[in-house]
Amino acid sequence: MAGKKRRMLLVLLIDVLLAIAILITGGMLVVRWYRDRNRPELSKLVAPDWYTQEFLVRNPYSRPGIKRTQINDIVVHYVANPGTSAEMNRSYFNNLAGQTGNNATSASSHYIIGLDGEILQCIPLDEVAYANYPRNDDTVSIECCHPDESGEFTEETAASLVRLTAWLCQELNLNERDVIRHYDVIGKNCPKYYVEHEDAWKALKKKMKTAIREGKES
């Protein structure tokens, strides 16, 4: 008799656990459905007139043309090459197309922000760039130029970064919590100054938060 009771209790317990599992899975599916419903179609986003689109040539090393439909995070980098311009960094990515041999480098970025705050878009948002491994599939990459070895951005670069991230967050239905550093993806010391100075990164994020809120209100 006691054994029968124990078996019944066990069956009941399994039923309850199953019901909980179904509820949790269902809840997650509903949340995902709701989130995706509010996501824009990446190929239909219209670029604002304050940045320049100069797409790289299609090639396996910097613009593989791999399509994607979702963006979950925006990743900030520094170019790690003091004093170089946005155009120079774009040329570097574009010239990777001509590589031959076994030691080929793969690298690129959706955006590059120059020392004067100019913004170049190198890769369409609905295509993968090679900057945020292992999260190239669902992230946007922004490379920022910097005048010296410290890696600190100029005021103009920082202002454009805030403007660009705020616009992306609005268009992609994200918020400032979804703007992260390369460091947060894989622990790399990038963007150097903003990994070594947590307060400077927090100050940037605060400006992004304000810009996103202002953009939503306007």
Return residues touching Zn ion (CB under 5 A). 77, 182, 190
Residue 203 CB, shortest distance to Zn ion, in Å, is: 20
Residue 161 CB, shortest distance to Zn ion, in Å, is: 14
Closest among 82, 214, 103, 73 to 153, alpha carbons compared: 82
Residue 18 CB, shortest distance to Zn ion, in Å, is: 45
d(CA 146, CA 152): 6
CA 38 to chain centre: 18
Nearer to Zn ion, 112 or 208 (CB): 112
Residue 36 CB, shortest distance to Zn ion, in Å, is: 28
Phi, psi of 13 (to 5 degrees): -60, -45
Number of H helices, E strands in the chain: 6, 6
> Position 42: which residue type?
L
Closest among 163, 169, 176 to 38, alpha carbons compared: 169
Nearer to Zn ion, 121 or 139 (CB): 139
Residue 31 CB, shortest distance to Zn ion, in Å, is: 30
d(CA 78, CA 112): 9
Nearer to Zn ion, 117 or 191 (CB): 191
Nearer to Zn ion, 106 or 173 (CB): 106
Nearer to Zn ion, 133 or 215 (CB): 133
